[in-house]
Amino acid sequence: MSKTLHIVGTGPGDLTYLPPLARQAIAESDGLVAYPLYIDLIQEQDPDLITGKQRHDLPLGEEIERARLALDLAAEGQTIALISSGDIGIFAMATLVFELLDRECNPRWVDIDVQVIPGISAMQTAASKLGAPLGHDFCAISLSDLLTPWPTIETRVRAAGMGDFVVSFYNPVSRKRDWQLAKARELLLEYRPAETPVILGRNLSRKDEKTEVTTLGALDTTQVDMLTVVVIGNSESRTLTHQQKTWVYTPRGYAKKLEG
Amino acid sequence: MSKTLHIVGTGPGDLTYLPPLARQAIAESDGLVAYPLYIDLIQEQDPDLITGKQRHDLPLGEEIERARLALDLAAEGQTIALISSGDIGIFAMATLVFELLDRECNPRWVDIDVQVIPGISAMQTAASKLGAPLGHDFCAISLSDLLTPWPTIETRVRAAGMGDFVVSFYNPVSRKRDWQLAKARELLLEYRPAETPVILGRNLSRKDEKTEVTTLGALDTTQVDMLTVVVIGNSESRTLTHQQKTWVYTPRGYAKKLEG
């Protein structure tokens, strides 16, 4: 009996971003636990990778149920892959598995081998498509106040402003949360100029990929949805045009050397 | 004439972390520009991937020269891969290429196709080996004051403390920089408890990999070297023991639901 739980991030969606380590973990699993879209994306591109495996699809909102099911199935002696897009360690399911292991002390779970396999997170894909905005100190903040009280989020956005961090916003908007990104934009405008470059990336690496470069002043938050990652430059981030395309980068301070 | 520059992050070192997109970019390149260790790591594991390609090894400290050489070789009509470990967009070479394109306006470079390919960054590998410390809002700060003045770094560390971000320190120490990590630890201790979990990861995925879980209070900064990434939990990060191993996670706030 193997009792193995692989906790696997699959990156943005296109399987060319999926490292062999993650592919191998999926390949050797008996069952896959995920929000259905992530398995559908694999199915479309490489059906052989998941043929014969049992799918355990659970909808958005059932994150605790997904983590618990993955542990319970592994406890039965199966090899299970709990899958999310991006890096499953970043604003995703991995932490919830450890929280369950820690809080519930379920004796059936004690001998499960747990392995976390990182993936390319949304901010990294967005950054790479449009330059190198994460070239210097940055932070990542989830704007979802479903689990984190808004005052805590606001404190973090202000801290990011004070520290002049490049900021990636995850979960910027949802059907029920429509004002948080606008408020976060307003807060950051107290600390950095309206000309600060902003990157939007939506459905990155997928058919309907959309990327856009705008500025903090011009950012229209009503155009942003829950599938978008928003990366906001720091006060030194710059844009340039190369090959008819606008790119964004955050310099690390080589300018002095370049001028010297 | 192809005139292509792939800017490629290779992840922690073990090629099982290298996505097919990055592998393909290396495979189709005529020449590789890198700090020699990163090409040696490929050579050891998969010599065929780089057989017949010209190596352009440049030592540490010659980052500008490396970026310029990669652009110049691509301008000659070659397909070039500029390589670094981790994610080349995070504290690495990608931003320097864009800075050169932006500042030097070299007419020989204008028709080079540039592509950035992200990789798994050190904090992600460290996090995955020891749990899910990046499960909630986090920041990444380079402690190298060679290019960034220390007061800017100190402001960022304080902001990270105020915002209660999980903090990953890159470039924590070098032969010439021996006090910055100790100072950063002191600063963070003003904001979070001595019991805060800390993760150290060194040479991750390589032969002499070393991982360690300690606390902010107990962190002995003299044991940390330039190859180590340091991840410091926020005030809610917790440790647990599972399968005789200590893991660290940062909860997202499901506790209320779990108790409810």
Domain assignment of residue B186, given as a range: 123-251
**Cβ A136–B257 below 8 Å, yes or no?**
no
Q: Is the pLDDT of residue A151 over 60?
A: yes
- If 0-12 CB within 10 Å is exposed, 13-18 middle and 19+ buried, where does residue B52 land? exposed
What pLDDT score does A60 carry? 87
Candidates B17, B164, B247; nearest CB to A19: B17
* Statement to judge: residues B186 and B233 lie in one domain: yes
- E strand spans, chain A: 4-9, 31-34, 54-57, 79-84, 113-117, 131-132, 138-142, 166-170, 197-202, 210-215, 228-232, 238-242, 245-249
Residue A170: how many CA atoms within 13 Å on its side-chain side?
19
Identify the band that residue A243 occupies on the pLDDT scale cut at 50, 70 and 90. Answer: very high
* Statement to judge: residues B133 and B213 lie in one domain: yes
* Statement to judge: residues A135 and A116 lie in one domain: no
**Cβ B242–A110 below 8 Å, yes or no?**
yes
* Statement to judge: residues A212 and A112 lie in one domain: no
**Cβ A63–B254 below 8 Å, yes or no?**
yes
List the single best residue of A144, A242, A250 to mutate versus B (max B Cβ within 10 A): A242
Chain B residues in contact with A21 (beta carbon < 8 A): 14, 16-17
| Domain end call among B93, B120, B147 | B120
CATH of the domain at B214: 3.30.950.10
For chain A, the average pLDDT equals 96
Chain A residues in contact with B91 (beta carbon < 8 A): 135-136, 252
Whether A137 is in a domain gets the answer: yes
**Cβ A240–B128 below 8 Å, yes or no?**
no
What pLDDT score does A259 carry? 67
What pLDDT score does B46 carry? 98
Note whether ipTM > 0.85 here: yes
Q: Is the pLDDT of residue B260 over 70?
A: no
* Statement to judge: residues B144 and B207 lie in one domain: yes
* Statement to judge: residues B88 and B154 lie in one domain: no
| Domain end call among B78, B97, B120 | B120
Q: What distance in Å separates residue B29's CA from the closest CA in chain A?
A: 17
For chain B, the average pLDDT equals 96
Chain A residues in contact with B129 (beta carbon < 8 A): 116
Scanning every residue of chain A, which has its alpha carbon at the shortest distance from the alpha carbon of B86? A120
Whether B17 is in a domain gets the answer: yes
Q: What distance in Å separates residue A123's CA from the closest CA in chain B?
A: 10
Whether B23 is in a domain gets the answer: yes
Identify the band that residue A114 occupies on the pLDDT scale cut at 50, 70 and 90. Answer: very high
Whether A144 is in a domain gets the answer: yes
Full-model pTM: 0.97
Let me know: does B180 contact B145? Beta carbons within 8 Å: yes
Number of structural domains, chain B?
2
Chain B residues in contact with A97 (beta carbon < 8 A): 132
Task: Find, among A159, A211, A168, the residue nearest to A187 by Cα.
Answer: A159
What pLDDT score does B144 carry? 94
* Statement to judge: residues B74 and B130 lie in one domain: no
**Cβ A132–B247 below 8 Å, yes or no?**
no
Whose tokens are 């704007």? That residue is A143
Whether B260 is in a domain gets the answer: no
* Statement to judge: residues A38 and A133 lie in one domain: no
Identify the band that residue B259 occupies on the pLDDT scale cut at 50, 70 and 90. Answer: low
Whether A214 is in a domain gets the answer: yes
* Statement to judge: residues B43 and B135 lie in one domain: no
Q: What distance in Å separates residue A218's CA from the closest CA in chain B?
A: 23
List the single best residue of A6, A155, A254, A257 to mutate versus B (max B Cβ within 10 A): A254
Q: Is the pLDDT of residue B2 over 90?
A: no
d(CA B129, CA B46): 24
The torsion region of residue B73 among left (phi > 0), alpha (psi -120 to 50) and beta comes to: alpha
* Statement to judge: residues B49 and B70 lie in one domain: yes
**Cβ B136–A240 below 8 Å, yes or no?**
no
* Statement to judge: residues A176 and A240 lie in one domain: yes
Q: What distance in Å separates residue B245's CA from the closest CA in chain A?
A: 11
Identify the band that residue B258 occupies on the pLDDT scale cut at 50, 70 and 90. Answer: confident
Whether B258 is in a domain gets the answer: no
What pLDDT digit, counting tens, does each position of B27-70 carry?
A: 999 999 999 999 999 999 999 999 999 999 999 889 999 999 99
What pLDDT score does B13 carry? 96
What pLDDT digit, counting tens, does each position of B66-90 carry?
A: 999 999 999 999 999 999 999 999 9
What pLDDT score does A119 carry? 98
Residues B13, B17, B20: CA angle, nearest 5 degrees: 120
What pLDDT digit, counting tens, does each position of A23-36 carry?
A: 999 999 999 999 99
Q: What distance in Å separates residue A210's CA from the closest CA in chain B?
A: 17
Whether A209 is in a domain gets the answer: yes
* Statement to judge: residues A145 and A58 lie in one domain: no
CATH of the domain at B51: 3.40.1010.10
| Domain end call among A94, A120, A146 | A120
**Cβ A240–B98 below 8 Å, yes or no?**
yes
Q: Is the pLDDT of residue B175 over 90?
A: no
Q: What distance in Å separates residue B218's CA from the closest CA in chain A?
A: 23
d(CA B10, CA B8): 6
The torsion region of residue B13 among left (phi > 0), alpha (psi -120 to 50) and beta comes to: left
